[in-house]
Every structure is written in C-alpha cells, then in structure tokens.
Amino acid sequence: MKKYTEYKHLDLPAIGSDMLNFWEHAHIFDKSVSSREDSVPFVFYEGPPSANGMPGIHHVMARAIKDIFCRYQTLQGKLVKRKAGWDTHGLPIELAVEKTLGITKEDIGKKISIEDYNKACRKEVLKYQDRWEELTRLMGYWVDMKHPYVTFDNTYMESVWWLLKQLYSKDLLYKGYTIQPYSPAAGTGLSSHEINQPGCYRNVKDTSAVAMFKLADALSKLPGAEALDTYFLAWTTTPWTLPSNTALAVGAEIEYVVVKTYHPSTHQAVQVVLAKDLLSTHFPEKNADLEFAAYKAGDKAIPFQVVASHLGKALAGLRYEQLLPFAQPEDGDAFRVITGDFVTTSDGTGIVHIAPSFGADDFRAAKQNGIGSLTLVDKRGRFLPQVQDGTFLYGEEYVKEAYLDEAEKAASLEKQRVALQGIIADTSKIQYLSVDERIVLKLQQEGKLFKKEKYEHSYPHCWRTDKPILYYPLDSWFVKVTAKKDRMIELNKTINWKPEHTGTGRFGEWLNNLQDWNLSRSRFWGIPLPIWRSEDGTEEKCIGSVEELKREIEKATQAGYPSEFPMDETLDLHKPYIDRVVLLSDSGKVMHRESDLIDVWFDSGAMPFAQMHYPFENKAEIDDRTNYPADFIAEGVDQTRGWFYTLHAISVLLFDSVAYKNVVSNGLVLDKNGNKMSKRLGNAVDPFETIAKYGADATRWYMITNASPWDNLKFDQEGIAEVQRKFFGTLYNTYSFFALYANIDGFAYAEEEIPLAQRPEIDRWVLSELNSLIALVDNAYSEYEPTKAGRAIEYFVAEHLSNWYVRLCRRRFWKGSYTSDKIAAYQTLYTCLETIAHLASPIAPFFSDRLFKDLNAVAGRNTSESVHLSRFPKVQEAHIDKALEERMELAQKICSMVLSIRKKENIRVRQPLNTIQIPITGSGLKEKIEAVKELILSELNVKKIEFVDESQTRIVKNLKLNFKTLGKKCGKDMKEVQAYAAANSKEIIGQIEAEGKAMVHIAGNNYQLDPEDVDIIPVDIPGWKVANAGAITVALDTVITPELKEEGLARELVNRIQNLRKEKFLEVTDKITLHIEDHEQMRTAILNNLNYICTETLAVSLVSEGPIDPAGADLVDVDEEIRILIKINKA
RNA sequence: AGUCCCGUAGCUCAGUCUGGUUAGAGCACUACACUGAUAAUGUAGGGGUCGACAGUUCAACUCUGUCCGGGACUACCA
C-alpha cells in the first residue's frame, strides 16, 4: 500500500531544489514543448537581457510574468517555444569596457586597437552569463538557454543586414542631418544617455538678449499697424547662434500684439511685435498712459500703445531682414515667420529665434517649413572665418568662453582692446568679453537690441571634459518611420496592452509625435551599417547578406581592388574587419563603408526575424505566420519606447503587421520604502539570497499577488514571509491533514466517484466554489491578470478550503468507519487539492508540482509525469450552484454573529446551548437556512434553530431607506424625506407592513414609499441576546440548563483526555482504557454522556471510581471548580 | 517642460469604470477564546479629514477641473 508522503514541516527552498532535480533529470521542460509539437502554437518572444551586469530582483519579477503565461498556455495544450536571447552590443557595454581598461573613446584606435577593444567587449558582454543562467534556473523560469540567440553572432547580424536592406530598398533608410548633443572639447557626439548622467546639467549664467528682427514685408500684411519701422522681438540665451538664424517661430494659437513705442537706443518711433501675454514683462503697465508727444530721447519711461493684435498663424509667412548677414543659407526659403508647437509664453517674447543647426526643435521646425540652415560654427566650437567684422568679431573664435584657455583669452582681450576703441570709453579697463557679450554690443550698435540681461539657467556639460556642450548638426542615417506613422498608430490599436493606458497613453502619444529614427552611432562595438558609399557621395550600395557581400568583394577584387577580408570560418562582420572591405559602385567608383554602427535598439527590435536567421533559414515560419507575430511579450514599462517600440516599428515598416498581440509591461521593483534599488545605496535585494531563503515559489507568489504587475512593487521581505505562512503554510497544512487520515484509511481514490447528488451539502458547496474558482482563474490568466488569479486562489485555499471546509469536516475524516460519507469527504478534498495544484502551477511551479506528484503517486488519477505536462482543469458547470454558495455564505455569517454573542456573554463554544432564533425577513430565507442548518448547529454547538415570523410585534425593527430608488423619486427633497423617515420610522414601518406603502409629505409634495424603497430590518428581540449584520439578525438563548451543563462538562472532559493522549504521544488510532476519579459534579455528566466520551476518546472502557492511585495518573482541571485525577492506559 | 501611473488604517492592498445606506481585507498591535490541521485557527478592539481645494449633484472615496506629493518615460527649448 502506497502512502501519501508526510512531511515534518514545510521547507519551500528544499522543495525547490528537489523539483529542479526532477525536472532536469526527467527533461520536463523539453517534454512540455515536445509533447505539444503538433498543437496550436502560442508564440512568445524573449526580450534579450544584457549579461554584462548581475541580474537583480526585478528580473525575477519580469521573468515570473513571462513564465506564468507560457506555463498557463502550455497547460491549455498550446505549443510554447521559448528561445532565450542575449543583447550584446551597445554603449553601456562599451562604457563598461572603457572603465575596466581605463581608457576613453579617443584612445580607441590609438592606445588600443579596435580589434582588441572589440574583443574586450565580446568578453565583457557575457561576463555574468552563468549567473543569469543560474538565476533563471533557480527561479524556475523555463526558457531554452541551450540554444539562445546572440546579437553578435554573424547569423543574427546577417538577418539584421537583410532587414536594413529591405528598408533601404523601400526608400525607408536615408542619410540626413540631425542635431545631436556634441562636445566640441571632446570632439565627439554624446548620446542622451551620457547627458543624463548625474551632474551634467549645471546652472550657468549667460548673457541673454532680446533681438529686433526688422519686418521686410509690406505693412499691409500686418493689418492695423501704422506706417513705422516694425520689429519682431525674439529672446535668446545663446546670442552666438544669432548669426545662424534663419527663421522666427510663433505659436499658431498664441495672440500677438503690435506695439507702438520708441526704439530704446535710436529713440525713433517704431513698432514691435510680441506675445500679448508677455507685454507687461517688457512694457511696464504704468507707461501705457504716457503721452507719446511728450517723450524725449533718453527718457527712462518709454510710452507704448497696442495698435493691433493677431494670432500667431496670421503672422506666419511674414518676412524679415536677416539680423547678422555674415552668410546666406544655401537652400530653402529663409527669414520667414513660421509656426511651431513648442512655442510658449512662459518666458521671452513668445517669438522664438530659430537657428536650425543648433537646436533640435529649430531643426525640425525649419525642415517642416522648407527653411535652410546656417552652420557658422565648426566642430571645434569656433565661428567660421566669415563671421568677423573686425570690430566685435574676429573669425575663428570659440563661441563659449569655457573653451578658451588663459593664454587664448589674454590674446583675444588684446584684440578687443584695440578693436573696441571708440565703442567702449576706456578699453584698458575691460575684461575678456565673450562672443555672446560682443554680439550683444554689436546688436546695440546697429540698433537691433531691445534688451539684454544676465540669465541663469541649467545647461548640459560634457561628462568627460566638463565643458558646455553644443547642439550640433551631424550626419546620420535615419529610418523613415514617419512614412508609416499612421499605419503604426492603426496597428497599435489592435494590440492588447496590459495595462491599457501604457498602449494608449505612453506608447500612443509617442507614436503620435513620431520622429524619424536616428540609427547612427559613432561607436565601435555593434552591428556595422552595411552601406558603402563613393567618396563623392553620389553612389552607394546596401548589402543585405553575407553572400551578397562575397559577390561584391569578388567583383571589386577582379577589377583590381582586393579587400583584406576573410570569408571563411573566421568571418566576422564587426569592425574593424568590415571596414577593410572596399567595393565598387555600378559606375566603377571605389566605395567605402559608412563608418557608423547602428543603434543597438535595432538589434533587439529585429529579434523576431534575426533569432531564426530569417530569411536565410526558417523562412516559412515567418512567412506563414506560425512563429510570427508573437502572441505575448512582457518587459518592464521602461521598454515602452525601447524594445516595444523597435519591435513594432520594424514589423510595421517591413511586414505591415504587429510584432506582438499581447504585451504586459510591468512596473519597477522598489525597495520597501519606495526608493529605487541601487548598488550605490546598498538597498538592492540579492535575488539569489531571497530564493535561497524563502524559495522561488514564495518569492514569485509574493511579487505577483502583492500588487498588479504594472504598479510599482515595494519589495519587502516580510511580505514573502507572510505569503509563505499564509498561503503555502495553509495549503501545506491542508495537504498534511489529508495525508494523515488518508494514509490511516488507505484512501487511494480507488473507489467509484461518489455522485455529486449523494455528497453532503458542504461537499457540493466546496466543489461549487472550486469550479467557480477554476472559471475565474482561467479567465484571469487568459486576460493576463495574474494578480487576480493568485489572489483568488489564495482566498479559496485560506477561507473556503481550510477555514471552512476542513474545519467543519474534520470529524468526517477521523470518526467512524470507512463509509461512503467518509469517501466522499476524501474525494472532495482530494479534488480540491489537485485542482489547486493545477491552478497555482503557473505562479508557484515547484510547490504545485510537489503537491500534484504527492497526490498522484498514490491515487494515480492523473498520469502526467508533472503538473506542467498536464492540462488545465475544465470547469464543470454542473458543479456550480450559486444558490448553494449564497446559502453557505449565509451560514458563515450567522455563525460569526453567534460566536460574537458567545464571546460577549463569555460562554465558550464547548458549552452547548439550546436555541437560536432568527427573524425571517424576505422570502426564501428560511429555506436557505434550513438547508445549512446542521452545519450551523454543529459549528455553534447549539441544539436547534427557531424561525420567528417578522410580523411578531415584539421584534424591534429599523427602517433603512434605499437611496438609489428614493433619490430618483424625491430629488431635492431627499434630505427632508430622510429626516422625516428617521423621526417617524415606526409609523412608516407600520404603514408599509399593513398597506404595502407609506406616504410622506414634504413641502407640498407627496411621496409614496413602496416596499422596494425601504429595508425593514429586525434588530432586536427583547429578552434575547442578539447580533445583526445587514438584513440578518440572530438571537441566542443563553440559559444553561443542568443537562446542558452536564454535556458541557462531558465535552470539557473529552478535551482534557485528548490533550493527555497527545502528551503521552499516543497514536491517533490507539485505543485506551480510562480511570477517572469520582467527583460529585462529574458523576451524572459522565453517566449521561458515557457513550459520547468513549467514542470521542477511543476508550474501550471507562471506570469512574473513588479516590484513585495518583501514581500513573494525571491531575486535570475540568473547570474552575473541578480538579480530578485521570489515568489513561493503552488498551 | 510634455505624456502617463500612483496617492484609501502604522504597513501592503481591494473598492472608483457603472455616484447611494455604517469605506473593506491581510499584516502588525491589544485582549479573550479554541485546539487530535497545532510553528495552525476563531472572536473582539483600537486605528481613516479616502493627498488638497473647488465644481457638478438630492447625494462624491467614486464624476469634472485646478493644485500638491511620489514615480516612470521622453525631451531639453528661445
């Protein structure tokens, strides 16, 4: 006879390692895939992590979510392949290598060859691969780590090249200018990632100026304006960009005013244009009343007067004279007013000076409006030679003071002292004047300056050189995602986002404001852009495969341009090797590779295709859509504009399809105080330690059930301990209880299934609840709501199964012979436990499998080797009986109320009582209670329930208004009706009970109260002890008759004997003989309950005798007054 | 700066979509009970201006607006 395994105590970490062993030896994961080879696929994509850092606790969170739904779908019979992946390129890796080697970007190619550098990167990137694999294993995340995709593999890179070539052929890949953060001091562009490092933004004081741009169009285009010189006012904190100005931007819906005033330096009458909202910051209110005629040159108070007002969009198209004409833009129709959505009236003048070369917004706005640019600053941060006038500017000057060293400053100062004579009174006294300051001086001289001031603002600095950065136009390759913007938005609407707002909000907004994707990175370790270009830039070729590369190399070689590039097994498509390839254009020109790498985000976004080396292998799987798009992906919410976006963009652009149908974006894992975890702060939680201490199941369960995955999780180890106790402890206890008695009775589920109809109410109830639970959990998993699933399982186990079913049914398991009632109890409990194993297995894979295997090792009901190879339970609709569930809820409520009365009256449950009374309200209440009467009586240790007709006048009733119906009826008089009803509740109750309605008169209005407008609730039965909750009231007869007292004593005695049995380590099944010392108060109690006492304690004989020998006997207190000796012997 | 999320008991969270009667759980705390599931369990208690203000409504934790605090992402702008 096989026995259910019984355990000494619950050890989740041990169960974890046991099950890991079993899974590995029996190849359960492989089987969970191979056993479903012919089934419908459920496509999952693993977002590749970068293994150059240690995995953290948040990875357990993200991976638990992935695992849950993959396991669930496997239980549903789907084929769920999961290929692991590694993200291996990119800046974080390069920066880590630079740090390790103690070098900077400038050293690469000098102090260290690119070859060696990239070798170091290749090594760095998988530094912690074994730790990642170990965590994956320990936490029970099932993913195929034996055959991962690796983004630095040639096959992966080849697929990426193929995708790039598709983009190229579709004209979706182009070379263009973009404005990027650029450090002239370091001579390199910076990524936004670099700029966002702490300390890069610093407060600096710059000279700001409001410049005057003279209207060049006819005044008739500005209705209402007078016949005066007219200027647009625009503010800048970087006057050095003014020579490169090519446009002015206004807000389309912002209101602008034309103001008549006097020029601040020429003192001529002029008109200026600025935003109405900012009028008062430039023109003090008090000057509005000044007489124009009274103004004299040099007066401090300058009169002004608004002469016209226009919306920004009406100003669009107006032309102005170039402010500082050092050079002309080569293309485009410059020096016009345009509109821009970025224009605000928070400061300045509401008119923005646009220098397209030195600002991202500027560049975009200029491009959209067909306006060319001027880039009058070189890459070292100096003006071009033509920016000189001999007086203020001397050509080839650094535009930021910080770029000059002391000697350069001194030399420049000498120049200034000469050149500025006549403009500045005593030039010997001046300090070095920055370019900004001199431009302001120049504007003032030329009558183009409205105002100047020092302005403090935060400005980004280069983290390597500490010098201010510039925004500078650089050559870059772009993916023209804007060409498919509408389609991307449209297809996004078909994606099921969890939570929804991430898709509509964060992602949707991002798509609505889509910009072309800058693909270029001037780095070393990444996928090289497969584009070769002729020196003059007129011809180029995009290579889409290794094969094509080979052909082109051969072609060039034959024409006399051999490349030193091995095409054998040492092939490596990385730098520096690929840069040695020289190709020929169609017309025979030599072409070299564009030096950039591609954005690492393209690598990961390409994974649906590149992980399969598409289209060079596995072509059909993509083309026939069996492995594409994904049914499900999941990552942190920080990937919304990262991986989620790049997947979507590549898919829509090239395959006109979504890349994934369902996506879960989880929130952050914070420390228990809500702070971000970081190694630096020392509050990072080590996932290995956590799993070792609590087990993966408890960790996963805690993370999933504590909060929805998309909310941030405040990770507190106490919470895991609680889950361990509350959920796993309770479930384990329930199993232990089952195993204990099933082993005694030899229950192996060998008997015929006892039909539902023949099982007692409580069995049918728990099975009904169980099937309701299956439906709920199934639904929650299928809708990607793991928290709801977990919480429902938890609730069922703790409340329904353990605290009610097992507690009430205990006697059925240990009492009496092996009857059909007992078998029904075993079958019911078994079914519950096994079902829970299935339902919980996606979240708690270890414990669930242990439970499943322990049960089936004896019962053999389910032949699956592991719960993870089984099928998800089917809801048996016939078992669900909602009315029964309601009845039981009612029973629980009544029990809890009566227990609270007992508590208040200080009558222990062991003391039997005679009667509870329940006033019957509403129809069917009596029948409902009748059905669960036995449970209530035994739980409460009461003899009988009496139902009291509610019409009995002795019952005290309360009137409660139904605001939902009455609110509609009474409207504004609701409050008064309420007050009236409170004051006259007796009359109203009487009327409604007698006539079925009651009338209320308020302020001339009559309102009829119908029975549905009120609840009449019995609250008290005078002379009884009562409790009420909602519409239910119960009363308890607390009189203890002599019979009841005896019965109570007998129960106390049984209790003491049971305790003695336990102290003496008797087996649950051992029979005993009893000798009880005679006591007058106990005499009749024992006599009248002899049978009861003997069956309960398994006594074959009971002798009550006079004084007994204290030797071998125990002295016990039966109650406060009775102390007797009891002797127990094993029979 | 923009977009989005969050704010309910000491802590972790339900409830808000669809307004209605006394805002609920668990943990923690206190007291008492129960106990052949026992490192479990029950009952009772204290603990809440539902982030603030305004609006809509007979009625607002719930709807609307503004703001405050925390967080994420994106951008960095005259």
A368-389: pLDDT as tens digits:
888 888 888 888 888 899 888 8
CA of A121 to C1' of B73 (A): 28
Tell me what pLDDT residue A358 has. 86
Tokens of A749: 């589920």
Residue A459: nearest nucleotide (C-alpha to C1'):
B76
Q: Determine the average pLDDT of the residues in A596-615.
A: 92
Q: Give the pLDDT confidence of A917-955 residue by residue, as tens digits.
A: 888 766 677 888 888 888 888 888 888 888 887 666 677
What are the residue ranges of helices labelled H in A233-315? 279-282, 312-315
Tokens of A480: 């023209």
Tell me what pLDDT residue A921 has. 67
Tokens of A202: 């610093």
Residue A899: nearest nucleotide (C-alpha to C1'):
B43
Highest mean pLDDT pick, A689-698, A845-854, A898-907? A845-854
Are A282 and A257 contacting, i.e. CB atoms less than 8 angstroms apart? Answer: no
For residue A618, the one-letter residue type is N
CA of A638 to C1' of B5 (A): 12
Strand-pairing partners, residue A208, are A453
The region of weakest confidence among A60-74, A127-141, A896-910 is A896-910
Q: Determine the average pLDDT of the residues in A297-316.
A: 84
Tell me what pLDDT residue A846 has. 96
A691 has a pLDDT exceeding 80: yes
The region of weakest confidence among A118-127, A203-212, A213-222, A487-496 is A203-212
pTM beyond 0.90: no
Beta strand A201-214 with A449-460 is antiparallel
Q: Is A48 designated active site?
A: yes
Tell me what pLDDT residue A653 has. 93
CA of A870 to C1' of B39 (A): 34
Judge whether residue A616 contacts strand B, using its CB and a 7 Å cut-off: no
Residue A44 gets which letter from DSSP? Answer: B
Task: List strand B contacts in A 173-192 (CB < 7 A).
Answer: 179, 181, 192
Beta strand A913-920 with A1099-1105 is unpaired
Judge whether residue A737 contacts strand B, using its CB and a 7 Å cut-off: yes
CA of A10 to C1' of B26 (A): 21
User: Can you tell me the distance from the alpha carbon of A233 to that of A353, in angstroms, rounded to the nearest whole number?
Assistant: 9
**Listed residue (A660, A598, A621) closest to A167, CA to CA:** A598
Tell me what pLDDT residue A162 has. 97
Contacts of A1059 (CB under 8 A, 6+ apart): none
Tell me what pLDDT residue A183 has. 79
Task: List strand B contacts in A 486-515 (CB < 7 A).
Answer: 499, 501-502, 505-506, 509
CA of A347 to C1' of B66 (A): 22
Tell me what pLDDT residue A999 has. 79
Tokens of A902: 């007992």
Between the alpha carbon of residue A101 and those of residues A97, A112, A116, A614, A679, the distances in Å are: 6, 10, 11, 36, 22
Residue A804: nearest nucleotide (C-alpha to C1'):
B41
Q: Give the pLDDT confidence of A390-399 residue by residue, as tens digits.
A: 888 888 888 8
Active-site residue (options: A23, A66, A87, A448) = A87
Rounding to the nearest 10 degrees, give the CA dihedral for residues A860, A863, A864, A867: -30
Active-site residue (options: A240, A643, A710, A765) = A643
Judge whether residue A360 contacts strand B, using its CB and a 7 Å cut-off: yes
Q: Determine the average pLDDT of the residues in A837-848.
A: 95
A236 has a pLDDT exceeding 70: yes
Q: Give the pLDDT confidence of A5-64 residue by residue, as tens digits.
A: 988 888 899 999 999 999 999 999 999 999 999 999 999 999 998 888 888 888 898 999
Judge whether residue A947 contacts strand B, using its CB and a 7 Å cut-off: no
What average pLDDT is seen over chain A? 85
Active-site residue (options: A111, A221, A676, A968) = A676
Active-site residue (options: A86, A497, A532, A601) = A601
Q: What angle do CA A49, A53, A54 make, to 5 degrees?
A: 95
**Listed residue (A2, A5, A16) closest to A728, CA to CA:** A16
Give the H or E element holding residue A839: helix A820-840
A192 has a pLDDT exceeding 60: no
Whether the CA torsion A484, A490, A496, A499 is positive or negative: it is: positive
% of chain A residues with pLDDT over 90: 32
A765 HSE (CA, 13 A, CB side): 24
Tokens of A416: 């200034």
A852 has a pLDDT exceeding 90: yes
Judge whether residue A814 contacts strand B, using its CB and a 7 Å cut-off: yes
User: Can you tell me the distance from the alpha carbon of A387 to that of A393, in angstroms, rounded to the nearest whole number?
Assistant: 7
Task: List strand B contacts in A 384-443 (CB < 7 A).
Answer: none
Tell me what pLDDT residue A104 has. 74
Query: A533: left (phi > 0), else alpha (psi -120 to 50), else beta?
Result: beta
Q: Give the pLDDT confidence of A572-601 residue by residue, as tens digits.
A: 999 899 999 999 999 999 999 998 888 888
Residue A714: nearest nucleotide (C-alpha to C1'):
B12
A531 has a pLDDT exceeding 90: yes
CA of A706 to C1' of B61 (A): 22
**Listed residue (A713, A688, A690, A700) closest to A636, CA to CA:** A713
Are A736 and A7 contacting, i.e. CB atoms less than 8 angstroms apart? Answer: yes
CA of A344 to C1' of B33 (A): 69
If 0-12 CB within 10 Å is exposed, 13-18 middle and 19+ buried, where does residue A1112 land? exposed
Q: Is A643 designated active site?
A: yes
CA of A904 to C1' of B45 (A): 12
Q: Is A517 designated active site?
A: no
Neighbours of A290 (CB within 10 A): 16
The region of weakest confidence among A247-251, A718-722, A969-973, A1047-1051 is A969-973
The pLDDT confidence band at residue A74, using thresholds 50, 70 and 90, is very high
Q: Is A162 designated active site?
A: no
For residue A775, the one-letter residue type is A
Contacts of A812 (CB under 8 A, 6+ apart): A821, A822, A825
Nucleotides of chain B in contact with protein CB (under 7 A) are: 1-6, 11-14, 20-21, 26-27, 32-44, 58-59, 70-78
Contacts of A217 (CB under 8 A, 6+ apart): A318, A319, A320
CA of A895 to C1' of B47 (A): 26
Active-site residue (options: A2, A679, A944, A968) = A679
Helix (H, G, I), strand (E, B) or coil at A907: coil
User: Can you tell me the distance from the alpha carbon of A395 to that of A387, in angstroms, rounded to the nearest whole number?
Assistant: 5
Chain center to CA of A505? 14
Q: Is A601 designated active site?
A: yes
Percent helix, strand, coil in chain A, to 5, is 45, 20, 35
CA of A978 to C1' of B59 (A): 12
CA of A437 to C1' of B46 (A): 69
Tokens of A1010: 């119908």
Q: Is A639 designated active site?
A: yes
Q: Determine the average pLDDT of the residues in A193-211.
A: 68
**Listed residue (A326, A434, A442) closest to A374, CA to CA:** A326
CA of A489 to C1' of B65 (A): 30
Residue A710: nearest nucleotide (C-alpha to C1'):
B5
Neighbours of A203 (CB within 10 A): 8
Give the H or E element holding residue A998: strand A998-1002
Judge whether residue A721 contacts strand B, using its CB and a 7 Å cut-off: no
Judge whether residue A1071 contacts strand B, using its CB and a 7 Å cut-off: no
Between the alpha carbon of residue A609 and those of residues A477, A483, A620, the distances in Å are: 22, 22, 11
Q: Determine the average pLDDT of the residues in A525-548.
A: 93
Bond prior to A576 in cis (omega within 30° of 0) = yes
Q: Determine the average pLDDT of the residues in A440-451.
A: 87
Tokens of A332: 């485009």
What are the residue ranges of helices labelled H in A841-942? 845-859, 882-905, 925-931, 933-940
Residue A1055: nearest nucleotide (C-alpha to C1'):
B35
Active-site residue (options: A48, A499, A530, A1018) = A48
Judge whether residue A1098 contacts strand B, using its CB and a 7 Å cut-off: yes
Q: Is A1024 designated active site?
A: no
Active-site residue (options: A180, A271, A639, A911) = A639
